[in-house]
Amino acid sequence: MIWAQARSLRDPGGGSVRGGVGAWPVSADVQTGRFGQNLCSELRSSATETAWLARLLSDWLQQTGEMSSVKVESVVKEHAQIGEGPVWEESEQTLLFVDIAGQKIHRWNSATNQIQSLQTADTVGFAVPRRSGGYVAGVGCSIVAVDWSTQKVTSLASVEDDKPENRLNDGKADPMGRLLAGTMRRDAQTAQVKPGSLYLMKSDLSVTKLLGQVDISNGMDWTADLKTLFYIDSLAMSVDAFDYDSASGKLGNRRVVYRLAEGEGVPDGMTLDANGRLWVACYDGGRVLNIDPATGKRLQTVSLPATKTTSCCFGGPDYSDLYVTSASLGLDQSELQKQPQAGNTFRVTGLGVKGRPSNAFSG
């Protein structure tokens, strides 16, 4: 009876709260707190309700309180074709990100709301800070150095020269300062081909292949102890984990941490928070999933006003803000009218968690 009551109450707007137990209706009583009081009272008076339902209710009420404080706002109104790879630069309180198809690297100043941009000669899959200054970026199939002050771009290395149909996609530096970067087909039609790979570049600029037979190489991040790399090959529809050799960067013992359910979208970029939990942007899902890799459970879902959410990172003065990039490419005119903020970058506040500083490439 109580389960049915909880499932049947809806607010006039048909809102929902999403947590580890799925999508929950939000009634007017929930908004005023009366729903929880009434339901708890009924639980106490009913001998037929079981302890697990009480625990489930308690968990849901906690999630309701957490989600009620979450705020999503569009802060970088760039309308990128494919916004991707956000990186928070703590020293200047700026957000670095790319527009892959727009062939641009952007830096957004959170204090002035100003954007600086650099045009690239080809698609740009990622841009990562460099310890020696400037950035390294994946342009076409080349890894390049970017001097922001002079706007000069210099090639450091190239991969897959024999595959002109490929390009570099997501890339990130590990805590040791090595760069990991993956590839994919330019047209993304890779379901039966698996032409992509994952590469590692060391500080001496040498490049080695870590992984082959990849569809769309995408999000990655490491545990604090550097023993595990979380990795997304998007068309596998899962978040995977590898044992990570911190000395060499070699991978082993691949396993699935979380498999996306129907309707959640396609896993794209991701980040870890300070508690070691994953935040995964879901392309064509309009959401970011918060996942506990230890249990493989989804803890929370943050919905965005753009279906093609692409990646995310934590930032802000104390790393408590989640920045989420999105894409507009592929939406028709009708969809663009319904999603006027597609391609923008969003800031999510009130999550109650903090992220970690980004890593810089040591080469």
Is 303 among the domain residues? yes
Chain centroid to CA 240: how far?
Answer: 14
- Greater confidence (112 vs 34) lies with 112
Mean pLDDT of 270-281: 98
Per-residue pLDDT band at 57 (split at 50, 70, 90)? very low
Sign of CA dihedral 306, 312, 313, 319: positive
* pLDDT on residue 21: 31
Residue 251 has pLDDT above 90, yes or no: yes
CB 258 within 8 A of CB 293: yes
Residue 59 has pLDDT above 90, yes or no: no
Rounded to a whole number of angstroms, the CA Rg of the chain reads 21
Per-residue pLDDT band at 192 (split at 50, 70, 90)? low
- C-alpha distances out from residue 178 to 175, 250, 361, Å: 8, 12, 6
pTM confidence score: 0.82
Is 7 among the domain residues? no
- Greater confidence (273 vs 63) lies with 273
- For residue 226, what are its two tokens? 């550097």
| Helix (H) / strand (E) containing 52 | helix 51-68
Which runs of E-coded beta strand occur in 215-335? 217-222, 228-233, 238-244, 251-259, 266-272, 278-283, 287-292, 297-303, 309-315, 321-326
For residue 218, say whether it is annotated as part of any ligand binding site: yes
* pLDDT on residue 189: 62
* pLDDT on residue 193: 77
For residue 253, say whether it is annotated as part of any ligand binding site: no
Q: Which residues are catalytic?
A: 268
Residue 243 has pLDDT above 90, yes or no: yes
For residue 255, say whether it is annotated as part of any ligand binding site: no
Q: What amino acid is encoded at 331 in this protein?
A: L
Per-residue pLDDT band at 67 (split at 50, 70, 90)? low
For residue 170, say whether it is annotated as part of any ligand binding site: no
Which residue matches tokens 């990100």?
Answer: 97
Mean pLDDT of 146-158: 97
Q: What is the per-residue burial (b if ≥16 Cβ within 10 Å, else e) of 269-300? A: bbbbbeebbbbbbbbebbbbbbbbbeeeebbb
Is 12 among the domain residues? no
Contacts of 162 (CB under 8 A, 6+ apart): none
Is 304 among the domain residues? yes
Please give the DSSP secondary-structure letter assigned to residue 316: S
Which residue matches tokens 């580890």?
Answer: 20
- C-alpha distances out from residue 355 to 88, 127, 258, 316, 351, Å: 10, 19, 20, 10, 11
Give the domain CATH number at 79. 2.120.10.30
* pLDDT on residue 43: 39
Render pLDDT for 13-44 as a digit per residue (tens, 0 to 9): 333 333 333 333 333 333 334 334 444 444 34
CA distance 124 to 100: 5
CA distance 69 to 54: 24
For residue 359, say whether it is annotated as part of any ligand binding site: no
Percent of the chain having pLDDT more than 90? 79
Residue 2 has pLDDT above 50, yes or no: no
Of 183-187, 222-226, 301-305, 326-330, the one with minimum mean pLDDT is 183-187
Is 28 among the domain residues? no
Residue 202 has pLDDT above 90, yes or no: yes
Average pLDDT for the chain:
85
Burial class (CB in 10 A: 0-12, 13-18, 19+), 225: exposed
Is 76 among the domain residues? yes
- Greater confidence (92 vs 64) lies with 92
Per-residue pLDDT band at 187 (split at 50, 70, 90)? confident
Residue 340 has pLDDT above 50, yes or no: yes
Q: How many CB atoms lie within 10 A of CB 361?
A: 25
For residue 169, say whether it is annotated as part of any ligand binding site: yes
Q: What amino acid is encoded at 169 in this protein?
A: N
Is 209 among the domain residues? yes
Is 334 among the domain residues? yes
Residue 270 sits in which domain range? 71-349
Percent of the chain having pLDDT more than 70? 80
Contacts of 332 (CB under 8 A, 6+ apart): none
**Number of folded domains that form the chain:** 1
- Greater confidence (52 vs 200) lies with 200
Q: How many CB atoms lie within 10 A of CB 165?
A: 14
